[in-house]
Structure 1
Amino acid sequence: AAVAGLPPILSLTFDTQAAMAEDPAMSAIREFSLSLDVPQIAREDQPFERLREAARLLAEHMDGVVTDGNGQILGEDVLDQIATDLQQLYDALAARELSAGTPQARRLFS
């Protein structure tokens, strides 16, 4: 997070056993997840844009692809639609006086 003490913008999850394996053939991380806890992160921090860029760079450097939880490749058009949906979610939270990243939203959704 940009401010010390606030939650992280993104979470990275992977199989730690694979990462710590002594056998080089077993040490490759073949998949990992990036996640975004929307109510915890203010819209102004541009969390989805940052997640999207991190995913793009990781895929590029690891010769991989960005997929959803079911392994379906997420193209730019799908990511654009997710960004639009996310903006609507931010608007809905704000309309209920629970703007993402505020102490009230963080308490309610934690």
Structure 2
Amino acid sequence: MTNKENLGKQFAKVAEEAVSGWEKAAKQFDKMKHEFEAKLANLDQQLLRSAAENSALSRSCKQETPGGNDENCKIGSRASEITWSCVEEVAWAYSLGPDEA
């Protein structure tokens, strides 16, 4: 066998290994992407539920303390603000395209 043939075989072997590695990495990426999307969707649902609960708590608190101490209302309002901030971040993450994520 000549050196040229050996180099050709080595090149083919390296190329096959590279393609195999790329395919494996692509499969792993797809799996991780699906897991991320599922977790993001779950987080989105939890945040929306939390926002609804905080809003209901805030309304309830305002009804119970219509002129008195409204410290609890302030806490509920702040919790609602934090929740909506998280909801906005989740919405931003959803807006990312596949090349941006």
Could you tell me the TM-score, scaled by structure 2's length? 0.30
Whichever structure has more strand as a proportion of its residues is 1
Q: Larger % of helix: which?
A: 2
TM-score, normalised to structure 1, is 0.28
